[in-house]
Chain A
Amino acid sequence: MEYVLTTDALCKSYKKHKALDNFSMHIPKGAIYGIVGKNGAGKTTLIRLICGLQMPDSGGYTLYGCESKSGEIAKARRRMGAIVETPSVYLDMSARDNIREQYRVLGMPSYDGIDDLLRLVGLEGTGGKKAKHFSLGMRQRLGIAAALAGGPDFIILDEPANGLDPEGIVEIRELILKLNKEKQITVLISSHILDELSKLATHYGFIDGGRLIKEISASELESLCRKCTRVKVSDIKSLCLALDDMGLEYAAVSEDTADIYGAFSISALVEALSRNKCEVFSMDGRDESLESYYINLLGKRGEVKV
């Protein structure tokens, strides 16, 4: 698989706090890679390191095949754009002037693409209105336009839905999907709005305490997040025997609970359990989502820590 970005054991500390701890990830070309983690997990630190805003204490990364410590990294960076935390735009300039400024910073030979870019992000009609008078969603879209000014193959968006109203969130989502599908731009997106991320991402990286605890594709996640029935009983051994006899796929969750995958006859199961004098306390259908997967993942990790 061809990777746009890989990180290798990245470490970064702020005084005694370890923000990133041996962080290794792989972003395939053409992916929308969602980096998922709670506040303070290390998402923004990771993005700052990749963008060159901060230096790692140890470890490194490879962007388009260029090592972070090599002189070639500056050239590789020309192929990326990013929004880190807040949109980086001059508030006392109009949308057009902001993009012009970014064109100059990039050394673009002409201003030809500015209209297309503003149209792409839906800011073509803002005229001379200064960015400080824009709504947060408009600023976010202007930030994306600035990030796209150099025609990058890879963009990094740090919490792009933060502070946006529902309409703004939908607009940003559609824009990201459009960029990925129509322009084949690889996207790294960090978010803790899991429901929103699940509508976009083709790959996920779960981060906690500065470490990547799981990297998984959306299709793998989908297969893991199957519908199941959670059953709580008085004797888990009897339940396992009964399920084995019935040829059902299941997973024991705890000493008295198991998740049963696929459809089955409830009355047949209850009858089999009652024969072994096993009581059924509860039974409920579960549809595991990204959110529950994430919570389970962190929960398990918490158990391991304890």
Chain B
Amino acid sequence: MSRLLSAGFMRLWKSRVFWTLVAGMFLWSLFMVYGNHTECIAKGEADDTLTNFFFGYGVIIGGAVSIFASLFFGTDYSDGTIRNKIIIGHSRKSIYMSNFIISVAAGVVMTAAWILAMLAVGVPVCGWNGFDAVQALVYLAVSFFMIVAFAAVFTAFGMLLSNRSVAVIVSFLVFLFWLQCGAYIYSRLREPEVEPIYTMVTKDGVEKITDASYIENPTYVRGTQREVYTRILEFMPTGQALFLMQNEVTDVSFMIFSSLVITVAVTLGGIVCFGRKDLL
């Protein structure tokens, strides 16, 4: 497998798709820094850019990995070069695993580009005001395993869908759907438990709003349902991305465990399916 990795990483180094995505992550990060910083200044508020956006890459990296994996591995199918690897005796398992490792590496480098922009530009401009070092390291660990899970899922799509265009579309749609599911559950969890009610009264001919009285919010998710929703969100990489972005990571070990479960299950399934796949 070391030979496949060597060839794969050399190809990665020369890949236009990969460097475009890396540059995209870097520029997006800069854009977030600039946008939020100028907004904070305009509003006269404390600059919370780094707190809000340092781990904002979570909701983007899944999409970036989906595009990368489907295009990078799809080229092996469209150019027929995957055949060269099998013909000379590399096992399908080695080919799959080496591609998975390359996906993880690509995801990590793309994430590093985001973080680099935050550190190189964000910290000097906005200041460091949110995390202590331990918390930052814990969040980085969670996000690393989240990237591994994304890489496992989208490597499977890239390896099992021989048509590159179909792979790109399907992978990205799956990511968007997954993100949408996460966003929906997250929004349900963010519902306030009680809602204020204001009443308009007229006193001495003057209309006035009374002090708020509170009623229970009927859409608030409570009890077991709330626990299940939370677990689902913590289990899904897109859910983890939302928690990371909002700095709301609580159950670190469950999140890492979930990412590992997804990674192992999807990779084992992918290897079995790829092993049985008729290649053209």
Contacts and interface: CB of A to CB of B under 8 A. Distances in A.
Interface of A: 48, 51-55, 73-78, 80-82, 84-93, 97, 100-102, 104-107, 146-147, 150
Interface stretch (B5-13, B47-55, B119-127, B184-192): B5-13
A51 B83 contact: yes
B16 A105 contact: no
Contacts of A85: 80, 280
Contact of B80 (A76, A77, A86): A86
24 contacts: A48-B280, A51-B87, A52-B86, A53-B280, A75-B89, A76-B89, A78-B88, A82-B83, A84-B80, A84-B83, A85-B280, A86-B80, A87-B80, A88-B79, A88-B83, A89-B81, A91-B79, A92-B16, A101-B7, A102-B84, A105-B88, A106-B3, A106-B88, A146-B84
B87 A54 contact: no
A203 B83 CA distance: 26
A159 to B, nearest CB: 14
Given A88-B83, A104-B10, A81 B88 contact: yes
Given A48-B280, A52-B87, 4 more contacts: A51-B87, A53-B87, A93-B14, A104-B3
Contact of A105 (B79, B84, B278): B84
A68 to B, nearest CB: 12
Contacts of A147: 84, 87
A106 B4 CA distance: 8
Interface of B is mostly: helix
A77 B87 CA distance: 6
Contacts of A105: 3-4, 7, 84-85, 88, 90
Given A78-B89, A102-B84, A105-B88, A48 B3 contact: no
A93 B89 CA distance: 23
Contacts of B84: 88, 102, 105, 146-147
Interface string B1-39: 011101100110010100000000000000000000000
Contact of A54 (B7, B85, B91, B279): B279
B11 A101 contact: yes
A80 B88 contact: yes
A8 B226 CA distance: 62
Contacts of B278: 48, 53-55
Nearest to B2: A107
B163 interface: no
Q: Which of A76, A88, A102 has the most CB of B within 10 A?
A: A88
Given A54-B279, A74-B89, A97-B14, A88 B80 contact: yes
Contact of A48 (B79, B85, B279): B279
Nearest to A146: B84
A55 B3 CA distance: 24
A51 B280 CA distance: 11
Interface of B: 2-4, 6-7, 10-11, 14, 16, 75, 79-91, 276, 278-280
B83 A90 contact: no
B6 A104 contact: yes
Nearest to B17: A92
A58 B203 CA distance: 93
Output the residue of A73, A74, A90, A102 with the most chain B CB within 10 A.
A90
Contacts of A78: 88-89
Given A51-B83, A89-B79, A104 B89 contact: no
A90 B82 CA distance: 10
Given A53-B280, A102-B84, A90 B75 contact: yes
Contacts of A87: 80
Given A92-B16, A101-B7, A51 B86 contact: yes
B88 A77 contact: yes
A88 B81 contact: yes
Contact of A82 (B3, B11, B82, B87): B87
A43 to B, nearest CB: 14
A90 B6 contact: no
Contacts of A75: 89
Contact of A53 (B11, B79, B83, B90): B83
Contacts of A92: 16, 75
B34 to A, nearest CB: 33
Nearest to A97: B14
A45 to B, nearest CB: 10
B13 to A, nearest CB: 11
A87 B278 CA distance: 18
A75 B89 CA distance: 6
B5 to A, nearest CB: 9
A106 B279 CA distance: 20
A74 B87 CA distance: 9
Closest 5 CB pairs of A and B: A77-B89, A104-B7, A88-B80, A107-B3, A74-B89
Contact of B81 (A48, A53, A73, A90): A90
B201 to A, nearest CB: 73
B17 to A, nearest CB: 10
